[in-house]
Chains A and B, each alone.
Chain A
Amino acid sequence: MRGRRVVITGIEVLAPGGIGAKSFWSLLSEGRTATRGITFFDPAPFRSRVAAEIDFDPEEHGLRPQEIRRMDRAAQFAVVAARGAVEDSGIELDELDPYRIGVTIGSAVGATMGLDDEYRVVSDGGRLDLVDHHYAVPHLYNHLVPSSFATEVAWAVGAEGPSTVVSTGCTSGIDSVGHAVELIREGTADVVIAGSSDAPISPITMACFDAIKATTPRHDEPERASRPFDNTRNGFVLGEGAAVFVLEELESARRRGAHIYAEIAGYATRSNAYHMTGLRPDGLEMAEAIRVALDEARMDPTEIDYINAHGSGTKQNDRHETAAFKKSLGDHAYRTPVSSIKSMVGHSLGAIGSIEIAASALAMEHNVVPPTANLQTPDPECDLDYVPVTARDQLTDAVLSVGSGFGGFQSAIVLARPERSPA
């Protein structure tokens, strides 16, 4: 007895280079990059001066002035993406029991942008230790505690079931979707609006990644700055964005004739219990997460047609996960295309996991594997097929997507076609 199965029936993506799932997919399939010199603030004092920014006008996307005022940019992304996903799925949420509709939104750093801005004001440019409450905006509490993102999405779609923000650093975007899958499988919810959002491109985030040299100082060619698996890479490019999905129980999705992008067949997360930012090169814990996710999906490693890598573009990451793929998939790792879309849209921290799940689902939809842009000089220690520069036409029935992040979290999620024959 298989129990309840969970499928994606709606997708919306806000990513650098274009808003909406369609323009997101054009960017990926054409191998274009959306990294550029920072425009949000003067990047001159910073070591890293490139980012993947979104040109986003909230009013154009239907947000009202008060919504815009009270929501951090990441919350705005989440709400716009949630509405888009619901529209894409064609689901009539009003006809369902609202207590059976849940919300899970991932975010690594919450309302960092709003907090950075407001701190500067209440502290008068860092002059006051005892910051001045008279200058605090009324929605500052919603920035303090980013569960406000889940509230905003629940209000936007009319959900009244289990709702939360999942915040496991850079795996938040996978873990949020994984959590939603668990809610539907166990029968707590029938539909979950799940995804993640982050808008971290602010001075405080740039400064803290500068401090540990995690982001790239390659400013001369910003469009080529994100170079996962390339021997010349030297750090990630900070990005922003959101992806939100409508997740439904398979049978009810079929009954209403919904378009099904993919089944979320397996998910797992494990910790390396090693270091808050460091990775051991053996990839043991990520391999374990992959193994458990495949086991949950009842799939053999050889069924994986494409690996959507974490591929952040740091040396330690690229080697760590290359080892994890070999450990978990064996020889099949060498036969499976692996790519990192962070080469094109940057690393949007907690959001990227969901954005990569969207890329994985769209790869299945189009039977096209997106490339790793800027991969020109292979790192001899990374010896898998990383799909350099150009997208590849390929039947894609099952995808593994992984994430790795600060705190030591390693997550893996498996997407597959629901009509596949069970192993």
Chain B
Amino acid sequence: MTTSVVVTGLGVVAPNGLGVREYWSATRGGRSGIGRVTRFDPSQYPSRLAGEIPAFTAKDHLPSRLLSQTDRMTRLALVATDWALADAGVKPEDLPEFDMGVITASSSGGFEFGQNELQKLWSKGSQHVSAYQSFAWFYAVNSGQISIRNGMKGPSGVVVSDQAGGLDAMAQARRQIRKGTRLVVSGAVDASICPWGWVAQIAGGRLSTSDEPARAYVPFDAGARGHVPGEGGAILILEDAVAARGRGAKIYGEISGYGATIDPRPGSDREPGQRKAIELALADAGVEPGDVDVVFADAAAVPELDRTEAEAISAVFGPRGVPVTVPKTMTGRLYSGAAPLDVAAALLAIEEGLIPPTVNVEPAPEHDLDLVTSQPRTAEVRTALVLARGQGGFNSAMVVRAVD
């Protein structure tokens, strides 16, 4: 019998809410965190909106020695981890250190820190580059810093698969728990809202150029013209179900299925890989399409990508065969942080029996989706499917289920 892996703690840092309670209250209420960029003056750029996390003061949560050596996204990740552990009721010092691992995803590392040091290098000279640059920028920084802060010596890891990476990290965490590690801190927090990161994202060609927060990121809408990027994500505590029950932990739900593919090379006549990823995840979970109560879509808001995702969902579930929602319409796309946040939202949907809404979207009829728009929908949610796609063709799908 395969080890069952459950989620026992959530730590959320999202543009529309810091902490699980604030995030869920905003999300079920349809409150968006998208607005004009404040971190720098975006006037000169073709895209000017973002999902920024307001009112996060790192020094309220972290010692000053950590502040000088970390990018914003690492500070957010460390705080999210503290909250997730507290939510799970886990004190790391009480557990054997090799029994706890840290596996996160990253997209761009500590990019703002990197910009500052690149600027020093090229404007002042190499001897001005920070001694922390060597580890504040690289992709492994969050896993490394989380393991150090919490004394976790078990299997660690870092994956990079653009926006799909958050699910890939959680799948890897589940794999390590199945191999015998008791607890893994997983998920992802990403942020690169600095001019250098902004320009690189603009070059990706998928950012919305709208200045209206309510119209800028409208996936599956006839007016979809790209996405708004954001910062943040979620850190989740994954545990061996038997160990979690043994300590009387509250269990949000089980990570019961996962599948991943990458799209065929451009010019291929083969179909994109997302449908296959969904089928693999359902098969892995041992559930039929009819068992799924809600789908959290990737929702690229690029017309062609919306079409292929709607087709993949319809191919598996039938036309309008399952409620679909996109709470990230309230946060923007958070890169590797997006899917772990959606997993958190799915678990909260299970807990409350309520599907959070997709805001600002008038679904285009061609997509044939049962999109939950405007208002949250009351529903018994036992099984949820979370989808994520990364630029470059990454497709990941994860099934989370209620536990009895």
**Neighbouring B residues of A276 by C-beta, 8 Å:** 69, 135, 141, 144-145, 148
Docked-complex contact A140 and B160, CB < 8 angstroms = no
| In-complex Cβ contact of A207 among B133, B148, B335 (8 A) | B133
**Neighbouring B residues of A139 by C-beta, 8 Å:** 203
Query: B151-163 CB contact bits vs A (8 Å, 1 = yes)?
Result: 1111111111110
Label chain B's interface by main secondary structure: mixed
Docked-complex contact A145 and B261, CB < 8 angstroms = no
**Bound CA–CA A162/B261 (angstroms):** 5
Number of A-B contacts (CB under 8 A): 277
Docked-complex contact A155 and B266, CB < 8 angstroms = yes
Docked-complex contact A144 and B261, CB < 8 angstroms = no
Q: Provided the pairs A288-B153, A406-B134 are in contact, do residues A203 and B140 lie with their beta carbons within 8 angstroms?
A: no
Q: Provided the pairs A123-B118, A131-B196 are in contact, do residues A164 and B165 lie with their beta carbons within 8 angstroms?
A: yes
**Neighbouring B residues of A273 by C-beta, 8 Å:** 97, 147-148, 150-153
Residue of B nearest to A153 (CB): B262
Q: Provided the pairs A133-B202, A209-B134 are in contact, do residues A407 and B140 lie with their beta carbons within 8 angstroms?
A: yes
B126 at the interface (CB under 8 A from A): yes
Size of B's binding interface in residues, CB under 8 A = 90
**Neighbouring A residues of B101 by C-beta, 8 Å:** 271
Docked-complex contact A110 and B133, CB < 8 angstroms = no
Instruction: Please tell me which stretch of B37-45, B247-255, B340-348, B358-366 contacts chain A, meaning at least 4 of its Cβ atoms lie within 8 angstroms of it.
Output: B37-45
**Bound CA–CA A273/B100 (angstroms):** 11
| In-complex Cβ contact of A99 among B117, B150, B276 (8 A) | B276
Docked-complex contact B203 and A407, CB < 8 angstroms = no
**Bound CA–CA A207/B106 (angstroms):** 23
Instruction: Please tell me which stretch of B53-61, B290-298, B388-396 contacts chain A, meaning at least 4 of its Cβ atoms lie within 8 angstroms of it.
Output: B388-396
Residues 92-133 (chain B) with a chain A CB within 8 angstroms: 97-98, 101-102, 106-109, 111, 114-115, 117-127, 129-131, 133
Query: A401-412 CB contact bits vs B (8 Å, 1 = yes)?
Result: 000011111000
Query: A140-168 CB contact bits vs B (8 Å, 1 = yes)?
Result: 11111111101100110011111111111
**Bound CA–CA A154/B266 (angstroms):** 11
* Least distance between B55 CB and chain A CB atoms (Å): 24
* Least distance between B131 CB and chain A CB atoms (Å): 4
**Neighbouring A residues of B245 by C-beta, 8 Å:** none
**Bound CA–CA A182/B139 (angstroms):** 22
**Bound CA–CA A25/B107 (angstroms):** 35
Docked-complex contact A133 and B199, CB < 8 angstroms = yes
**Neighbouring B residues of A212 by C-beta, 8 Å:** 131, 134
**Neighbouring B residues of A137 by C-beta, 8 Å:** 203
Docked-complex contact B144 and A409, CB < 8 angstroms = yes
**Neighbouring B residues of A383 by C-beta, 8 Å:** none
Docked-complex contact B119 and A271, CB < 8 angstroms = no
* Least distance between A142 CB and chain B CB atoms (Å): 7
**Neighbouring A residues of B154 by C-beta, 8 Å:** 270-271
**Bound CA–CA A138/B199 (angstroms):** 10
**Neighbouring A residues of B152 by C-beta, 8 Å:** 271, 273
Docked-complex contact A275 and B148, CB < 8 angstroms = yes
Q: Can you list 15 pairs linking A and B with CB atoms under 8 Å apart?
A: A45-B126, A129-B195, A130-B195, A131-B195, A150-B161, A150-B262, A158-B264, A159-B262, A162-B168, A166-B159, A167-B160, A179-B157, A182-B175, A207-B129, A408-B148
Write the residues of chain A forming the contact surface with B, with a CB cutoff of 8 angstroms: 45-46, 98-99, 103, 107-110, 115-116, 119-120, 122-123, 125-127, 129-133, 136-148, 150-151, 154-155, 158-169, 172, 175, 179, 182, 186, 203-204, 206-212, 214, 268-277, 285, 288, 405-409
